[in-house]
Structure 1
Amino acid sequence: MSAQVETAIFDLLAKVAPGKSISPEDVARAVEPEGWRRLLGHVRATAVGLARQNQLVITRHGKPADPEDFKGVYRLRLPEPAGAPASEEGA
């Protein structure tokens, strides 16, 4: 399941403008359109793993969140290229 979630995350991020983010719900719906709610925990766990590897940024209120300690609503985006200015949040 994690491989499907990871693939969905990167497929969806490839479709948005650089610096823009996606919601965990978007990812879950891409993997399982009917039963997406039950996948939200898998999406979160996969996102945390990817953030630990610096392949993904978890954001809260448009700012990077600590993947080890965040609560509530969050979004996912790709890391900014080195030397690039930080962009505004939103999809």
Structure 2
Amino acid sequence: MSVDSELEAAIEELLAARSGTICPSDAARRVSPTDWRDLMEPARAAARRLVAARKVEITQKGEVVDPATARGPIRIRRVR
């Protein structure tokens, strides 16, 4: 399994286990507990792919944002 696939799976698994939102770092830590910082941008990219597949939404300050223009901290949640 590729890292990209692992990150997508981690996002989906974490969201299935929680009722709220997750940070991309949660998925990165699940895939690589020691080198998770190197996976932050790939985790954000995985979240963008899941947005395109209509599986998740990316939010900032509780509001859904366009993943192409989001800058700064983001949260990921299941589509409502």
Q: TM-score range by the shorter chain?
A: over 0.9
Q: Which has the larger radius of gyration?
A: 1
Q: Is the contact made by 1:13 and 1:21 (CA closer than 8 Å) also made in structure 2?
A: yes
Cross-structure match for 1:39: 39
Alignment-mate amino acid for residue 4 of structure 1: E
Task: Establish whether residue 57 from structure 1 lines up as the match of residue 60 from structure 2.
Answer: no
**Helix, strand or coil: the match of 1:76?**
strand
Task: Establish whether residue 10 from structure 1 lines up as the match of residue 12 from structure 2.
Answer: yes
Unaligned 5+ residue runs, structure 2? none
Moved over 6 A (4+): none
Q: Is the contact made by 1:13 and 1:22 (CA closer than 8 Å) also made in structure 2?
A: yes
Cross-structure match for 2:29: 29
**Helix, strand or coil: the match of 1:68?**
coil
Q: Which has the higher helix share?
A: 2
RMSD: 0.7
Alignment-mate amino acid for residue 74 of structure 1: I
Alignment-mate amino acid for residue 74 of structure 2: Y
Cross-structure match for 2:77: 77
Instruction: Give me the whole-angstrom Cα distance separating, in 2, the residues matched to 1:11 and 1:49.
Output: 15
Unaligned 5+ residue runs, structure 1? 81-91
Deviation of the 1:54 alpha carbon? 1.2
So what's the TM-score if we normalise by structure 2? 0.93
So what's the TM-score if we normalise by structure 1? 0.82
Greater RCO (Cα-Cα under 8 Å, separation 6 or more): 1
Q: Is the contact made by 1:5 and 1:46 (CA closer than 8 Å) also made in structure 2?
A: yes
Alignment-mate amino acid for residue 25 of structure 1: S
